[in-house]
Amino acid sequence: MTLPSPLGPALSGPGPSGARAAAPLARLPFLTAHAGCGGRLKQTPEDFRVEELPLYRPGGSGEHLYLLVEKRGLTTPALLAHLRRALQVPPQALGHAGLKDAQAVTRQWISVHSRADLPLEGVETPALRILEVSRHTNKLRRGHLAGNRFAVVLRGALPPPGFADLLNTLSHRGFPNYFGPQRFGARGDNGPRGRALLLGQAQPGRGRIPPETRRFLINAYQAALFNRLLATRLAALGRLDTLLPGDRAVLHANGASFAVDDAGLAAAQARADDRELSPSAPLFGYKTPLAEGRPGQWERDLLAEEGLALETFRLGGKKDSPAGERRPVRALPADLACEALALDDGPALRLSFTLPAGVYATSLLREAMQTAATPPDSAEGDDG
């Protein structure tokens, strides 16, 4: 079975020398056949507003200073570099829960390990404000995030007939939980580079790759394979809320997965209809549980086509080897709403919604716009 490859020439064949991988989302199927609203994304930072929803609030005491910051036109790494310089702290003193887009106005918590009070005067700039200061007992780490709340202006967007039905479908049935273009880099080559690293292939002219970059690139390849399996399922079934015998279902509340057999299929489908769980696809790793039946065949066919086994992800036994996990194939937004705007440069729509951690706003916007919805700074921002 040949699976559709949205990953570009580096994954579907050798291609010409120096060929650049195609945008990973460009050829992935849409969930619905509704006409989209079109529009232009991220024309100004104010067009894309993101607010982190923390997994917990700071308790008010502890050796870590917690700062709620609002940034405009800054990447999260640039924000952290500014704080290191302004507060004169080492890089390891800083913690954050997720990356936020540069071409946006975003609010997120940053932790700073310091038992003493730090001079916050002079930290603020025209692009950075401190909104709240507190303390907590532990460092803020990646994943300490419940979700993100978005308010996105699509300039030039016009709602076609049936657009309300499209939004209703996305709100109630969910949308494809694709990894967004941010994961794959501005040139779309993070996945192919991760594959080369995983297979021990040389990358001429790149020199030594730091461990953190190595992990990020391999993660991008895992994400690209997930997108490909999601696309295969959507093309085969036309929907993402239907469980098949052999599926592994994932609970949205905690991410736990379990096998669905014939005897339990009806009960599991009822829970999927109630938005409690969804079918899943793997982020391949050396410990990833694979599905059985038809979904399992898709997974094994893709591994074979890519020349992989689960053991390929063990990386010689290194401790940073990706163990893998199951990820829901659909994402469920909360509080999805649409408002028509009349701006100086013409009509627009504002879409507001809340997404769980790890879900990409660009994947929801892609369905609403029925375009690739690739933001200008697609290399940055892992959550929004």
Which residue numbers are catalytic?
101
Q: What is the spatial distance between Cα 292 and Cα 290, in angstroms, rounded to a whole number?
A: 7
Tokens read off for 201? 């292939």
Check if the beta carbon of residue 176 is closer than 8 Å to that of residue 234.
yes
Q: Which contiguous run of DSSP H or E holds residue 211?
A: helix 211-237
| Sign, CA torsion 66/69/75/79 | negative
> Looking at the chain, which runs of residues are DSSP E strands?
40-41, 48-54, 64-72, 94-96, 105-113, 128-136, 145-155, 175-176, 248-251, 257-259, 277-283, 325-328, 330-331, 334-343, 346-356
Q: Which amino acid is at 7?
A: L
Phi-psi region of 331 (alpha: psi -120 to 50; beta: other; left: phi over 0): beta
Kindly state the DSSP code that residue 138 receives in the 8-state scheme: S
Residue in this structure with the two tokens 């200061």, named with its chain if needed: 133
